[in-house]
A and B are shown apart, each in its own frame.
Chain A
Amino acid sequence: MKKIEKEFLQFIQENKQRFYYFAYSYTKNEQDALDVIQESLHKAWKALYKIKDIQSIKSWFYQILAHTAIDLLRKQKRVGVMEDFQLEKLSPKQCDTYKDVDVELALNQLPIHLREIVILRYFEDLKLDDIATILNMPLSTVKTQLYRALKLLKKQLKGDF
C-alpha cells in the first residue's frame, strides 16, 4: 500500500460523516448525498496518484465533493447559480422582521454559493486560501462573499440578538 493511499483511506474513515453533512447541505436528501459521495470517491481514487502533497488532501477532496454536488444540482435543475443582482433582490430587506425564522432555516435561505463558503470556513475549518481553491475563485471574492453571507445571516437571525 502506498503512503498516499494509506493517508487517504485514513482521511476517509476519520471524516466520512463530515463528507455526508457537506454533501447533504447541497442535496437536502439522503440518496443524492450518498450519490455525491460515491461519485466523489470514485473520482478521487482515480486521481489520487496526482496528489504530491499529503497536506492538500482535504481541500482537494472537498473540491471534488463541492463540484460533484453542484453538478448534480445543475442536472436536477433544482438550483441555479444565483447572480448577485438576483441575490440582492431576493434577500430580506433591512426593514423586514423575521421573528420566527429558526436557525437552520437561516442557513438554508442563503444562496448556495454563500452557504458553501460559510460551511467550509466555520464548520469544516478550512482556510480562506483553501476555500478559494476549492470553489475556484480569487481569494478576494471569497472574502467579500463570506462577509456578505455573514451580513445576511445576521439579518435573518436578528430576532435572536
Chain B
Amino acid sequence: MKDQLKQLEREYESVPVPAALDEIITQTTPRHLRMAKKIKWAASSIIATILFTTTLNISPAFAENIAKIPGFDKVVDVLTFQRFEINEPNRKAVIEVPHVTGDSAELQALNMRYEKKGKELYAQFKAETQKNMTAHTSITTGYETVVSTQQLLVVGDYYVNNVGSSSTTMHYITIDKQKQLIVTLPSLFKNRGYQQAISAYIKDEMRQRMIQSNGEELYWVTGTEYYKKSDGYTFEKISKKQNFYINEHHKLVICFDKYDVAPGAMGLQEFEIPTKILKPYLLTNEYIK
C-alpha cells in the first residue's frame, strides 16, 4: 500500500501550477505587508510604448460647468485631472485620477489624495508587471458620479484588477456641495451605537437573502444552515471607516468590496439602511431622511 500511496501522491502533485497563483497571493496580501519594491523607471525600451498623459482634461462638460457658475459661486463637481495609460499585449492599465472642483481645504486635500493614489497605483503596477511579464494583467481605475443633487455629490472611485480572475474595489466619497465638506459616517451620528444597529440590520438582511435563495446567495454570516463559523471568516460588524454613501432618496447605503462579506462571486455588495433604524442615533436630518 505504501508504494501505491507514493504513486498517488505523485499524481496529486503532478497538476501544473498556473503562474496566476503568484498574482493572487500578491493581490490578497494586505497592502502594508507587500514587499517594498524598488521601482525601476526607464529600465528598457518598453518605456517607449508607454503613453503617459498628464493633461487637465477640459472637456465640453467642464466648459458647460464653468458657464453655469453664477458670477462668484464655485460649482462643486468632479472631472478628470490626470490619465495614465499603459497599452501592451500583456499588460494594460488605465488610471484616471478624479479632481473635485471647489476651494475648501478639505476638498483640496481630497484631490491630493486622489492624485497620490493614482501615481502610486501606476508605479506599483509597473513594478509588479516588470517582475512577471508573462501573465496577462490589467488594471483599470476611474471614478463615477453616483449622486449629484443640489446638496450632495457622491463620487465613487473604483479599481479593477484582472489577473486571471478579477478583483474590484469601490470607494465612495460623499460631499456636501454647499458647505464643501466631506461627510463622514461618524459625523452623522450622536454616538457609536449606530455601528451595532446597522450591523444587526445588515446581518439579518444577509440571512434573509440566503434563506430566500436557498443558499444560492451566500454571505459570510452565521445564523442559517448555509454558513458556519468553521467556514473561516465571519462578518461581525461594520468598521469605523466603513465605506458608504448617501443616495438621492436621502438613504444611507453601506457598501462592501468583493470578498469583504461574501465570496468573490457575489461581487460588490450594497445595503440601503431604512432610516427608522438610524433614527435613535442620528445627529441631524440634514442628509438622511
Residues of A within 8 A of B (CB): 1, 5, 9, 12-13, 16-17, 20-21, 24-25, 30-31, 34-35, 37-47, 63-64, 67-68, 71-72, 74-75, 103-104, 106-107, 118-119, 122-123, 136, 150, 153-154, 157, 160
- Which A residues lie within 8 Å of B164 (CB)? 31, 34
- Which B residues lie within 8 Å of A122 (CB)? 5, 8-9
A118 and B7 CA atoms in complex are apart in Å by: 13
Q: Do the beta carbons of B27 and A38 come within 8 Å of each other? A: yes
Q: Do the beta carbons of B25 and A16 come within 8 Å of each other? A: yes
With both chains docked as a complex, state the minimum distance between the C-beta of A75 and any C-beta of chain B, in angstroms.
7
Q: A42-B28, A63-B232, A71-B231 are in contact. List 19 more A-B contacts (CB 8 A).
A: A5-B30, A9-B29, A17-B13, A31-B165, A34-B18, A34-B24, A38-B28, A43-B220, A43-B259, A45-B28, A47-B233, A64-B233, A67-B232, A68-B263, A72-B263, A103-B4, A104-B8, A123-B13, A153-B4
Give the residue of A13, A34, A71, A150 whose beta carbon is less than 8 angstroms from that of B1. Answer: A150
Q: Do the beta carbons of B12 and A123 come within 8 Å of each other? A: yes
Q: Do the beta carbons of B230 and A67 come within 8 Å of each other? A: yes
In the complex with contacts A41-B24, A71-B231, A123-B9, A20-B218 CB distance below 8 A: no
Query: Which 5 residue pairs are nearest across A and B when measured between Cβ atoms?
Result: A43-B233, A41-B28, A43-B232, A42-B259, A64-B232
18 contacts between A and B (CB under 8 A): A16-B17, A16-B21, A17-B17, A20-B21, A24-B15, A34-B18, A35-B264, A39-B263, A41-B28, A63-B230, A75-B218, A75-B265, A107-B11, A122-B5, A123-B9, A136-B228, A153-B1, A153-B8
In the complex with contacts A39-B264, A41-B28, A43-B220, A34-B11 CB distance below 8 A: no
Give the residue of A38, A47, A63 whose beta carbon is less than 8 angstroms from that of B24. Answer: A38
Q: Do the beta carbons of B230 and A136 come within 8 Å of each other? A: yes
- Which B residues lie within 8 Å of A157 (CB)? 4
With both chains docked as a complex, state the minimum distance between the C-beta of A99 and any C-beta of chain B, in angstroms.
15
Q: Does B42 contact A (CB under 8 A)?
A: no
Main SS at interface, chain A: helix
With both chains docked as a complex, state the minimum distance between the C-beta of B193 and any C-beta of chain A, in angstroms.
24
Q: Do the beta carbons of A21 and B233 come within 8 Å of each other? A: no
Q: Which residue of A is nearest B9, CB measured? A: A123
With both chains docked as a complex, state the minimum distance between the C-beta of B220 and any C-beta of chain A, in angstroms.
7
- Which A residues lie within 8 Å of B5 (CB)? 122
Q: Which residue of B is nearest A150, CB measured? A: B1
A47 and B7 CA atoms in complex are apart in Å by: 36
Q: Do the beta carbons of B27 and A103 come within 8 Å of each other? A: no
With both chains docked as a complex, state the minimum distance between the C-beta of A121 and any C-beta of chain B, in angstroms.
10
- Which B residues lie within 8 Å of A31 (CB)? 164-165
Give the residue of B4, B13, B21, B263 whose beta carbon is less than 8 angstroms from that of A34. Answer: B21
Q: Do the beta carbons of B264 and A38 come within 8 Å of each other? A: yes
Q: Do the beta carbons of A37 and B21 come within 8 Å of each other? A: yes
With both chains docked as a complex, state the minimum distance between the C-beta of A129 and any C-beta of chain B, in angstroms.
15
A44 and B21 CA atoms in complex are apart in Å by: 16
With both chains docked as a complex, state the minimum distance between the C-beta of A49 and any C-beta of chain B, in angstroms.
11
Q: Does B69 contact A (CB under 8 A)?
A: no
- Which A residues lie within 8 Å of B33 (CB)? 1, 5, 9
A118 and B9 CA atoms in complex are apart in Å by: 10
- Which A residues lie within 8 Å of B27 (CB)? 38
Give the residue of B4, B13, B216, B218 whose beta carbon is less than 8 angstroms from that of A160. Answer: B4
Q: Do the beta carbons of A40 and B29 come within 8 Å of each other? A: no
A103 and B12 CA atoms in complex are apart in Å by: 10
With both chains docked as a complex, state the minimum distance between the C-beta of A152 and any C-beta of chain B, in angstroms.
12
Q: Does B147 contact A (CB under 8 A)?
A: no
A80 and B168 CA atoms in complex are apart in Å by: 31
Q: Do the beta carbons of B233 and A46 come within 8 Å of each other? A: yes
Q: Does B273 contact A (CB under 8 A)?
A: no
Q: Does B123 contact A (CB under 8 A)?
A: no
